[in-house]
Amino acid sequence: MPELPEVEIVRQSLNKKINQKKVIKVIVRNRNLRFKLPINFETFLKGRKIIEVKRFSKYLIFCFSNDKYCLLHLGMSGTVHVITDNQRNLLTNTSFYNSPTLPIKHNHVEIIFKNLRVIYNDPRRFGFFQIINDSLSLKKKFANLGPEPFQTEFNYKYIISFLKGKNKNIKNFLLDQNFVSGIGNIYANEILFHCKLDPNKKADSLKKDDYKKIILNSRKVLSKAIKNGGSTIKDFKNTSGKRGRFQKNFKVYERKGQLCKRLNCKGIIQKKEISNRSTFFCNICQI
């Protein structure tokens, strides 16, 4: 599933391509996504100009004139492809998941602008679009989500208040979008390695320095992932010809049985299931 860095790469790609462009036409080939597309979806988008493509957590936000919005969540397998008219498109994927070129099947939504098309592809159909009619409704949409790691609201005081008296392990908290938005399984593993924390450690047993490490390393890991184009197991280029390279910086994720990369640590990377999610950690330096 795309996490915050991968969705940010999609946002950057789209904002370069469609900012200030007007939607000419919308073609819906399958309304049955995670949530069924509303009957007025095509007419809502048609004729509106994209003011900016923003993002919160794992949501893409298409900002239109007159305080109108359309959200897109990529779900498990959703990808966004840009097709430029009258040009041979060898690379269409705005990020680094699944096919680098436009697949033949599962192209559910096509948004047409002058000289280019944006196509939403989703084999598993866990992604969805949502129409938002004003900024207040947009704010309410995200009201139950925690702050992103980059926001000032994600601070020492907030973490202490949220975790106080709670017995859940810290790995599950990092994946809890009500606690902090945008962190998924890959980056939770990497963040905890940098914090030197056992993923199974209970939240109410953390120390003051642990909270500070979580804030610092959440920002550090996600920033580096964005800078490196996100993570992908299939190493291919996106529409800008760039590769997702952060997977080459993994310290623990998918490294079961390998030596720990921390200097002077002789640990071996372990793998276990925590709440049905693959969890990787060093058996010596993560305590």
Active-site residue identified among 17, 58, 117, 171? 58
Q: How many CA atoms lie less than 13 Å away from 176 in the CB half-sphere?
A: 14
Active-site residue identified among 3, 8, 148, 190? 3
Exposure pattern of 252-286 as b/e (b: 16+ CB <10 Å)?
A: bbebeeeebebeeeeeebbeeebeeeebbbbeebb
Query: Apex CA 161: angle with CA 160 and CA 165, to 5°?
Result: 85
Is 58 a known active-site residue?
yes
Active-site residue identified among 21, 125, 242, 277? 277
Give the separation between CA 242 and CA 229, rounded to whole angstroms.
7
Give the separation between CA 14 and CA 248, rounded to whole angstroms.
25
Is 147 a known active-site residue?
no
Catalytic residues: 2-3, 58, 277
